[in-house]
C-alpha cells in the first residue's frame, strides 16, 4: 500500500517538498558524477524520481528518464518536466533493456526495508548503468547516523495551506527499519475545507558497511562524496553527510 503522501495527498506534495530545495544537493550529485565518470555524459535515469524535484535541476545537464512506482507522482513530475521521459515501475524489478551514462537513486531508496530489497534496487541500477558510467545513491540516513527527531512543517501555496509535524523514530532498534510519522492539518480556501491527516512511512535503516557490501556485490567500484544538508535549522547550517558514487567498470 502506498503512503498517502504519494497517493491521495499528491496535490499537496509541492507544499511539503518544494523543488527549489533540491538545487544544492543535485549540484553535488552532478559534480560527483562528472568526477567519477569514465565515459561521455549525456543520459541519466532516476529510479524513484517522485515529483521530479531532482530532475528539474538534473535535466540542465542530462537527458533524463524518470521512473517511479506511483502514477500520481509521475503525473506531478510531468507537469514540471514535460520534456523528460517518464516510466511507471518498481525500482526492484524495472528493466528498460538499455543503459544510461548516469543513474540517480535518491531518498526513494529508503523504502527498501530489507537487505534483499536493497540488493534488488541496486541490481536494477547496475544493469542500467553503462560501462564507465556512474550511479549515485543518496539515502537519508544510515544506522550509524540515525537519531529520533521532529520537524515542524508550514507552507502556503495558492489556495492551499499546510501545517504539520514530521516525527522520525525507531520503534524496534533490533530490526532494519524506522518510522516517519506525518501529521498534517490541510486547509483549502477554495473549498473552505480543513482536515487532519496522519501518514506513516516505514523505511529501511542499514549500516554504511551493509550499503558498501551490497553495492560492491552488484559490481560497482564504490566511493563516497559530501552532500550539503538542509540548512533550514541552525544545527544543520554548513553541514554535510556522505552519499555513494559508484563506477561501473
As a whole number, the mean pLDDT across the chain is 95
Domain that holds residue 177: 149-204
Please say if the pLDDT value at position 91 is more than 60: yes
Dist. CA 222–CA 234, nearest whole Å: 32
* Domain shared by 45 and 154, yes or no: no
- In terms of domains, do 68 and 153 share one? no
The total domain count for the chain is 2
Confidence of residue 231 (pLDDT cuts 50, 70, 90): low
Mean pLDDT of 59-73: 98
CATH number of the domain where residue 196 is located = 2.20.25.110
User: Mean per-residue pLDDT for 200-214?
Assistant: 98
Q: State yes or no: pLDDT of 145 exceeds 60.
A: yes
Q: Which pLDDT does position 234 carry in this prediction?
A: 38
Q: Please state the rounded mean pLDDT for residues 92-113.
A: 98
115 with 83, same domain? yes
Does the pLDDT value for residue 75 go beyond 60?
Answer: yes
- Asked whether residue 166 falls in the same domain as residue 191, the answer is yes
Do 200 and 210 fall into the same domain?
no
- The three-point CA angle 70-74-80 to 5° equals 150
Same domain, 222 and 168: no
Tell me: do 172 and 193 sit in the same domain. yes
What average pLDDT does the segment 122-127 reach? 98
**Using 50, 70 and 90 to split pLDDT, how confident is the model at 233?**
very low
pTM: 0.94
Higher pLDDT, 237 or 122: 122
Supply the CATH number for residue 53's domain. 3.40.50.150
> What is the per-residue pLDDT across 152-173, written as a single tens digit (0 to 9) for each?
999 999 999 999 999 999 999 9
Distance CA 58, CA 50 (A): 14
Cβ–Cβ under 8 Å, residues 168 and 150: yes
C-alpha cell at 79: 507537469
Average pLDDT of span 180-202: 97
**What cell does 34 get?**
562528472
The answer to whether residues 131 and 177 belong to one domain is no
Same domain (yes/no): 32, 135: yes
Please indicate, yes or no, whether residues 93 and 167 belong to a single structural domain of this protein: no
Amino acid at each position: 500500500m502506498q503512503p498517502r503522501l504519494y497517493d491521495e495527498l499528491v496535490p499537496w506534495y509541492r507544499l511539503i517538498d518544494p523543488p527549489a530545495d533540491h538545487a544544492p544537493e543535485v549540484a553535488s550529485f552532478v559534480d560527483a558524477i562528472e568526477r567519477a565518470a569514465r565515459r561521455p555524459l549525456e543520459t541519466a535515469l532516476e529510479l524513484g524520481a517522485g515529483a521530479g524535484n531532482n530532475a528539474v535541476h538534473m535535466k540542465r545537464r542530462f537527458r533524463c528518464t524518470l521512473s517511479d512506482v506511483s502514477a500520481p507522482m509521475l503525473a506531478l513530475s510531468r507537469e514540471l518536466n514535460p520534456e523528460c521521459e517518464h516510466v511507471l515501475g518498481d525500482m526492484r524489478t524495472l528493466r528498460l533493456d538499455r543503459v544510461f551514462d548516469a543513474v540517480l537513486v535518491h531518498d526513494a531508496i529508503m523504502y527498501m526495508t530489507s537487505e534483499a530489497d536493497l540488493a534488488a534496487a541496486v541490481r536494477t541500477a547496475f544493469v542500467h548503468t553503462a560501462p564507465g558510467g556512474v550511479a549515485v545513491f543518496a539515502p537519508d540516513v544510515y544506522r550509524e547516523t540515525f537519531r529520533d527527531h521532529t520537524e515542524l512543517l508550514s507552507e502556503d501555496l495558492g489556495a492551499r495551506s499546510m501545517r504539520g509535524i514530521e516525527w522520525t523514530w525507531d520503534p524496534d532498534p533490533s530490526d532494519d527499519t524506522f518510522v516517519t510519522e506525518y501529521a498534517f492539518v490541510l486547509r483549502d480556501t477554495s473549498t473552505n475545507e480543513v482536515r487532519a491527516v496522519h501518514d506513516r512511512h516505514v523505511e529501511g535503516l542499514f549500516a554504511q558497511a551493509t550499503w558498501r557490501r551490497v553495492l560492491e556485490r552488484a559490481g560497482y567500484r564504490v566511493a563516497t562524496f559530501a552532500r550539503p544538508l538542509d540548512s533550514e535549522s541552525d544545527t544543520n547550517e554548513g553541514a554535510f553527510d556522505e552519499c555513494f558514487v559508484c563506477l561501473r567498470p
